[in-house]
Structure 1
Amino acid sequence: MDATEVVSRLEARMEARDWEGVAALVAPDAVIEWPRTGERFSGASFVAMNRDYPEGWSIRVREVVGSGERVASDVEVTQEGVDGVFVATGFWTVRDGRVVAAREYWSGPDLDDAPAWRTPYQLGDGGP
């Protein structure tokens, strides 16, 4: 299985809450980083944290691309009771059919409000 398939299956298994299946795709000593919040997880704790995350969420994979052992993913996550969509871009390293490292950048409702001063520069708002 190539690296893009590993990451695609990982996201599908997370959506299915197949935690044993997720653990099979993430090396226990992998390092997963969330730079925006300064969090770092081992592979085993990443699986446990996602398993214990409050229910009501759903993942939709928009794209998974890559070459060799490096993969980039783009996903949307909705959460019951939250207006809006969370998005995550991930950069994954896969070896021997398992994730060994990742860095995910998350954004979403109330996480990143665009400052008003940038409005004139946005497409569709009279920007360049």
Structure 2
Amino acid sequence: MDVTRAPAQVIERLWARMSARDWTGLGELIAEDVVVDWPSSAERIVGRANYVAVNAEYPEGWSIRVLGIVADGDRVVSEVEVPMEGAETFRVASFWTVRDGVVTHATEYWTTVDGDPSPEWRRRLVEPMPLG
């Protein structure tokens, strides 16, 4: 494994491999003892095999569009959009730790676009966000 690649490149490859359903390739970018937290659903994924399986077993019909990746040392932040055919669109803000060419920890915040409607009191102060 090429451990000289930059942390941002690891995350770029992670999203590309996930999008391609390259589960073996995805696993190559994940540490054996990775810990991934999903606070929105109060779940923790422990271990490479579980992380890959959670993603591989997700029902089909999704695609991934990377909106941005920013890195500072071994910390990488990515924002992606995950539309589901005939269903909701997810937005994901992920905070990755990459060491020696693999992800060792992540915290990902998954939410649905327009899944948390603006409360009535705030509507006079905001405008709808363009989607797509």
* TM-score, with length taken from structure 1: 0.90
Where do 5+ consecutive residues of structure 2 fail to align?
none
Matches within 5 A, 1:43-82: 43-82=48-87
SS at match of 2:118: coil
Q: Which residue of 2 aligns with 1:35?
A: 39
- The CA deviation at 1:111 is 3.6
SS at match of 2:28: helix
Aligned equivalents of 2:27 and 2:116: distance in 1?
Answer: 31
RMSD across aligned positions (CA): 1.5
SS at match of 1:36: helix
Identity %: 49
Match of 2:125 among 110, 116, 121: 121
Residue pair 2:91, 2:113 contacting (<8 A) in 1 also: no
How many residues align? The count is 123
Where do 5+ consecutive residues of structure 1 fail to align?
none
* TM-score, with length taken from structure 2: 0.87
Residue pair 2:37, 2:108 contacting (<8 A) in 1 also: yes
Q: 1:110 to 1:123 in 2, by over 3 A?
A: closer
- The CA deviation at 1:57 is 0.3
For each residue in 1:40-80, what CA deviation from the matched residue of structure 2 results, as whole angstroms up to 9, or x when unmatched? 00232111010000001000001011111000000000011
